[in-house]
Amino acid sequence: DRLLVFKKNSLAIINIQKENEILEGEYKYIGLDGGHPAQACLTDIGVAWINSNGLYLFDGETVKPLVDNKIRNMWVGEDEFTGSAFWKSNSSDIPMVGYDPASKKILCLKTGSDNGSNSEDILVYSLKTKSWSYKKDAFDNSTKKRMMVYKGELIYDNGSQIQKWSD
């Protein structure tokens, strides 16, 4: 039983299994630096979250970076990547993450509000294949988005109705 304490620039993992809490680890630079609770979600195997450095997964034992050596250049817009960075290319972007238990995929949405980028592209990480995919214009840009799991399915609110996510 672990408690994950997110700050803007760090994460503390506290073991709360016994009478006395024990700080098991403190990790710098992997907090919720976008400052929004929609940057974290629960998966079947642990907690996933996004920040300016990438996507992370805590599986109950270790923190695993899921972007390193895979799509880092696209995430931060460096080196030979020619598009705009996925992470906060607009200062009003509010990045979000959601989990689809049916497909075992983590969805990283570039912005959850209509104030940020016009790009509603998402990056999708498959826990089954440990691979990334990219979906262009997966959502419309007209409203705020909210994602959650309901009755085992990922649903989202597009401002006018609740919809079920489908690949």
pLDDT at 48: 96
Task: Tell me: pLDDT of 142 over 60.
Answer: no
122/98 Cα distance (integer angstroms): 11
Q: What is the pLDDT of residues 86-136, one digit of tens each?
A: 666 556 667 788 999 999 999 988 776 655 555 567 889 999 999 988 887
Q: What percent of the chain has pLDDT over 70?
A: 75
Tell me the whole-structure pTM to 2 decimals.
0.83
6/145 Cα distance (integer angstroms): 22
pLDDT at 38: 84
90/42 Cα distance (integer angstroms): 26
Tokens in use for 39?
């940057």
C-alpha angle 40/42/43, rounded to 5°? 125
Q: Are 46 and 52 in contact (CB under 8 A)?
A: no
